């Protein structure tokens, strides 16, 4: 494990340096793109009869349990770090938009993408059971704020829009994981639960996760308030994340939602009332650095996964069709809530629907969830499609969302 960590940290550092020094892409997108190019070069050399390092790289990447690494390791830190810097007052002001998008939006997206992908795959002569397509709808529904957040900030996106996108992403990760878990149970049992049972499972995991996160956040807040020693306070937040996520897992509650709620409490009440300026600065620096390192490693792993996947022109065409379905579903999922909020007098900033639609990137969580499916031909099919969609989302949408934000913001400011 130590050898594996050393290799990937070293590779991540090298790719991050090359991107910063010579390429200049946003950090997370840049390291993934360079890892992807590296993987393609290995494939190309092998096809030319020069299998330079490809077998060794395949063996190395194959030793990594991506699902376990992200879902039981990195995700708790990434969600807590993301929530730590969200202003609770701004979040409350956008609670209706975020709540609708993170719950109704995810459920709607799961159903439409599930049935739509089932129909598309049937057109290509592939007929996986419907439950697999619904699982695909659940795993591809959560959006990833990691890659797009820095771009939006540099593009000068309105604070309200930034809060809406990040808030939705933090919470819809947890909601999508709960929906995926319920559907995975259906696959394992071979029969669907009743409507009441399904709703109870959802409420138990999501609501229980919120309650656990609030309790752990309040307990950690009390401990932080009783001392003024930043090393110990940073250690307490680490214990909150590691211990809290593990406890949520053992209690069969939503760990992702628990970490988001705990992060909001520490980042707002804790920051204002339980930390000195010196502690606040060191805590922020620690979590910002940890967040950047984990994101870089995660996106390098996504890029390197390419060496393990067999691709075909048919997979590319299927992924393109489903990508169009996902974008259309995202537009429909975002549009009506935005219209409803406008009628309620809670209108979102101009251009929000377009930015939310194009900026709803898919990332590591989708890859991790598809890897949680039981080994089967359906899993291999969905893994290839998911990976191609994630690549398109990060490289195409991620690299163009900044231009869209700047265009909308410039037009609005010019109109005033």
Per-residue pLDDT reduced to its tens digit, 88-126: 998 888 888 889 899 999 999 999 999 999 999 999 999
Tell me the C-alpha distance between 354 and 151, whole Å. 16
pLDDT of residue 5: 84
Tell me if 119 sits within 8 A of 366, measured CB to CB.
no
pTM: 0.88
pLDDT of residue 270: 96
pLDDT at residue 166 greater than cutoff 60 = yes
pLDDT tens digits for range 314-371: 999 999 999 999 999 999 999 888 888 777 777 677 788 898 899 888 988 898 899 8
pLDDT of residue 197: 76
- 3 state SS of 101: helix
CB atoms within 10 A of CB 197: 11
pLDDT at residue 200 greater than cutoff 90 = no
pLDDT of residue 299: 84
pLDDT at residue 416 greater than cutoff 60 = no
- Tokens matching residue 276: 């000195």
Place 150 in a pLDDT band, splitting at 50, 70 and 90: low
CB-based contacts of 308, cutoff 8 Å, min separation 6:
58, 61, 62
- Tokens matching residue 196: 């009441």
Name the least confident of 93-97, 220-224, 225-229, 318-322: 93-97
Place 59 in a pLDDT band, splitting at 50, 70 and 90: confident
Tell me the C-alpha distance between 388 and 362, whole Å. 11
Domains of the chain: 67-415 (1.20.1530.20)
pLDDT of residue 54: 66
Q: What is the mean pLDDT of the chain?
A: 88
């Amino acid at each position: 494990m130590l050898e594996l960590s050393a290799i990937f940290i070293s590779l991540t550092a090298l790719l991050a340096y090359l991107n910063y020094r010579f390429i200049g892409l946003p950090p997370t997108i840049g390291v993934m793109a360079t890892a992807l190019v590296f993987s393609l070069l290995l494939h190309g050399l092998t096809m030319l009869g020069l299998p330079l390092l490809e077998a060794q790289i395949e063996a190395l990447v194959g030793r990594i349990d991506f699902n376990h690494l992200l879902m039981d390791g990195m995700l708790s830190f990434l969600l807590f770090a993301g929530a730590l810097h969200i202003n609770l007052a701004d979040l409350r002001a956008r609670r209706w938009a975020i709540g609708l998008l993170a719950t109704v939006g995810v459920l709607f997206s799961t159903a439409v993408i599930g049935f739509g992908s089932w129909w598309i795959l049937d057109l290509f002569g592939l007929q996986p059971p419907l439950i697999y397509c619904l699982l695909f709808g659940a795993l591809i529904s959560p959006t990833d704020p990691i890659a797009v957040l820095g771009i939006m900030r540099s593009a000068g996106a309105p604070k309200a829009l930034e809060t809406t996108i990040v808030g939705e992403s933090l919470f819809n990760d947890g909601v999508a994981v709960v929906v995926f878990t319920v559907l995975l149970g259906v696959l394992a049992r071979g029969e669907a639960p009743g409507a009441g049972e399904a709703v109870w499972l959802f409420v138990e995991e999501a609501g229980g996760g919120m309650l656990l996160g609030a309790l752990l956040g309040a307990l950690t807040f009390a401990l932080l308030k009783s001392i003024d020693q930043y090393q110990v306070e940073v250690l307490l937040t680490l214990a909150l994340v590691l211990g809290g996520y593990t406890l949520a897992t053992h209690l069969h509650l939503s760990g992702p939602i628990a970490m988001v709620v705990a992060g909001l409490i520490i980042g707002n009440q804790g920051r204002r009332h339980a930390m000195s300026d010196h502690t606040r600065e060191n805590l922020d620096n620690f979590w910002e650095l940890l967040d950047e390192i984990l994101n870089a490693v995660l996106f390098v792993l996504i890029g390197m996964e390419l060496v393990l996947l067999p691709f075909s022109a048919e997979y590319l065409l299927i992924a393109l069709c489903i990508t169009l379905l996902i974008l259309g579903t995202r537009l429909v999922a975002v549009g009506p809530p935005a219209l409803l909020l406008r009628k309620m007098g809670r209108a979102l900033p101009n251009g929000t629907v377009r930015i939310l639609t194009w900026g709803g990137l898919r990332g590591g969580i989708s890859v991790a969830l598809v890897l949680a499916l039981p080994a089967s031909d359906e899993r291999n099919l969905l893994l290839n499609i998911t990976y191609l969609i994630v690549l398109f989302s990060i490289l195409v949408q991620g690299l163009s969302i900044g231009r869209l934000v700047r265009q909308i913001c410039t037009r609005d400011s010019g109109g005033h």
